[in-house]
């Protein structure tokens, strides 16, 4: 049977073309809404840079065809450009045509703004009958004070309440994600919406308890999560990322809202640590609820009776070497440090996220007393943690420049005398760090020295109880 020739498209009747196009389009369905009630699981990854990654899984029953899905109960500080939705099975069955983030939230002013030029009802209590009377009015303006027209009169500062006939469609009670979808499935399906949000951060807080001899200590670590993102994450799979994740910011916003809390002694550590790219990931091995506007603490680690070293340090000033200074006539403060190694053989060895270490020590009555705190950076395993506690009370120093002269166009000599006095009932040792500039050579010294950090001259000076030690040295510098 011979085939009939096909007409080209431009010769087909317009009605035939229109019916073919409409036949190819998907049927439409009424807007659908999902809330946290349909949530089947949520994962929350928190970064220590005011950022969180949310993965929200929900069970949906969408009609086949094309329509709008309103995904409610999301964080109010969501980053809209980061939003992504995907079905967890039969991914090709659901296609996203358009996505929107609606944040024109319902509040009294916005509600009144929507009714400018429209009729509202004003209620006022009659002072004689004490009954509430109603009058219809037109809302003329809603700037600093609502202005109404009642009949031919204009009035403002109305003393009663105002009622409106309804809520406009474009005002919503909560931030909402809205997708225009093409759906092929006629059965329930699980989808996952993922997005980044601001307003949530975490930090580590540590409590270090020094032993009686200041040579051993106990350490407990706590994760402090501060949630101001505008959402609650119930029974979440919680993960924390430690490290400096680069972000592009249109304007710099620095926030540090983490509460400074000291919690009770922790149970066994609850986080599993692993490497993630150039960062470290800490996974809580149980679900946790992180409520909106909540500061939450979870135990991170615990280590008992590991070795620490207390150190007294007197540090000089760089400007002392460039000009004649003479005798400043003032005491030099001696700083107190505690140092320990983050080693497995000491009961530690977990990469420590940055945070604040608060140090305590028992007094003569056996009560713990706070003796100082310091911030520590991210510390890998086998690295040292050094905490500056404050200034020594009973160990003081003084220094004076006893000579300074120029010996060549680029060479100078300087001489110093440093005195340390110990008023404690025990012997101490003080590390003196002298930041000698340039290329230098020690010409004479009353004590042995080493070239330490940044090529500074370092001396370790023993000072007897109720005693005094004097250091003198002369150095030649070229700079």
pLDDT, tens digit, 9 for 90 and up, residues 180-221 = 999 999 999 999 999 999 999 999 999 999 999 999 999 999
For residue 207, which of 142, 319, 333, 297 has the smallest C-alpha distance?
297
CA atoms of 237 and 257, how far apart (whole Å): 23
pLDDT over 90, % of the chain? 66
3 state SS for 450-469: EECHHHCEEEEEEECCCEEE
Average pLDDT over residues 313-317: 94
Flag whether pLDDT at 60 surpasses 80.
yes
SS3 269: coil
SS3 82: helix
The distance in angstroms from the start CA to the end CA of the chain is 104
Average pLDDT over residues 436-440: 94
pLDDT confidence bin for 318, thresholds 50/70/90: confident
pLDDT value of position 174: 74
Q: How many CB atoms lie within 10 A of CB 157?
A: 8
The dihedrals phi and psi of 6, each to the nearest 5 degrees, come to: -90, 140
CA atoms of 45 and 118, how far apart (whole Å): 47
Flag whether pLDDT at 18 surpasses 60.
no
CA atoms of 153 and 11, how far apart (whole Å): 66
CA atoms of 381 and 301, how far apart (whole Å): 14
335-368 pLDDT tens trace: 999 999 999 998 899 999 999 999 999 999 999 9
143-154 pLDDT tens trace: 888 999 999 999
Pick one of 1.10.3470, 2.40.50, 1.10.1760, 2.60.40 as the CATH number of 313-333+391-478: 2.60.40
234-238, 255-259, 393-397: least confidently modelled range:
255-259
SS3 258: coil
Flag whether pLDDT at 20 surpasses 60.
no
Task: Tell me what the pLDDT averaged over the chain comes to.
Answer: 87
Average pLDDT over residues 75-80: 91
Flag whether pLDDT at 83 surpasses 50.
yes
Rounded to whole angstroms, what are the CA distances from 453 to 315, 417, 435, 450, 458? 12, 21, 9, 10, 8
Flag whether pLDDT at 228 surpasses 60.
yes
Bin 7: left if φ > 0, else alpha if -120 < ψ < 50, else beta: beta
For residue 434, which of 332, 337, 336 has the smallest C-alpha distance?
332
Domain limits, the chain: 26-39+60-104+173-197, 116-163, 199-244+253-307+343-382, 313-333+391-478
Flag whether pLDDT at 384 surpasses 70.
yes
Please tell me what DSSP assigns to residue 286.
S
């Amino acid at each position: 049977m011979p085939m009939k020739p096909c007409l080209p498209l431009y010769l087909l009747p317009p009605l035939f073309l229109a019916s073919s196009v409409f036949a190819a389009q998907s049927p439409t369905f009424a807007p659908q809404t999902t809330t946290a009630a349909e949530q089947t699981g949520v994962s929350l990854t928190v970064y220590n840079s005011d950022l969180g990654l949310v993965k929200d899984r929900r069970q949906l029953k969408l009609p086949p065809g094309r329509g709008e899905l309103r995904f409610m109960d999301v964080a109010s500080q969501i980053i809209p450009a980061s939003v992504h939705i995907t079905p967890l099975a039969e991914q090709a069955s659901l296609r996203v045509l358009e996505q929107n983030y609606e944040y024109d939230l319902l509040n009294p002013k916005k509600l009144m703004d929507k009714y400018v030029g429209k009729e509202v009802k004003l209620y006022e209590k009659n002072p004689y009958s004490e009954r509430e009377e109603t009058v219809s009015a037109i809302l003329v303006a809603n700037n600093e004070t609502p202005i109404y027209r009642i009949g031919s009169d204009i009035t403002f500062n109305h003393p009663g309440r105002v009622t409106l006939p309804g809520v406009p469609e474009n005002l919503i009670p909560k931030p909402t994600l809205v997708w225009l979808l093409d759906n092929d499935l006629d059965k329930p399906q699980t989808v996952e919406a993922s997005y980044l949000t601001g307003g949530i951060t975490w930090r580590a807080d540590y409590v270090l308890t020094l032993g009686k001899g200041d040579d051993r200590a106990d350490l407990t670590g706590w994760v402090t999560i501060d949630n101001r993102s505008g959402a609650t994450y119930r029974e979440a799979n919680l993960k924390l990322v430690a490290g400096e994740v680069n972000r592009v910011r249109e304007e710099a916003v620095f926030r540090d809202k983490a509460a400074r809390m000291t919690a009770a002694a922790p149970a066994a550590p609850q986080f599993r640590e692993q490497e993630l790219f150039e960062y470290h990931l800490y996974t809580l091995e149980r679900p946790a609820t992180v409520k909106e506007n909540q500061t939450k603490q979870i135990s991170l680690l615990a280590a008992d009776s590991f070795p620490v070293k207390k150190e007294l340090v007197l540090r000089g000033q760089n400007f002392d070497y460039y000009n004649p200074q003479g005798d400043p006539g003032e005491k030099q403060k001696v700083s107190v440090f505690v140092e320990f190694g983050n080693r497995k053989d000491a009961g530690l060895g977990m990469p420590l996220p940055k945070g604040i270490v608060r140090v305590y020590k028992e007094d003569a009555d056996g009560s713990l007393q706070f003796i100082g705190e310091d911030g520590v950076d991210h510390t890998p395993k086998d690295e040292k943690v050094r905490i500056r506690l404050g200034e020594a009370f009973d160990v003081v120093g003084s220094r004076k420049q006893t000579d300074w002269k120029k010996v060549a166009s680029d060479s100078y000599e300087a001489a110093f005398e440093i005195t340390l006095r110990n008023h404690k009932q025990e012997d101490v040792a003080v590390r003196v760090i002298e930041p000698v500039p340039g290329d230098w050579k020690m010409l004479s010294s009353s004590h042995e020295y080493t070239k330490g950090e940044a090529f500074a001259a370092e001396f370790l000076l023993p000072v007897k109880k109720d005693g005094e030690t004097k250091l003198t040295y002369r150095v030649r510098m070229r700079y």
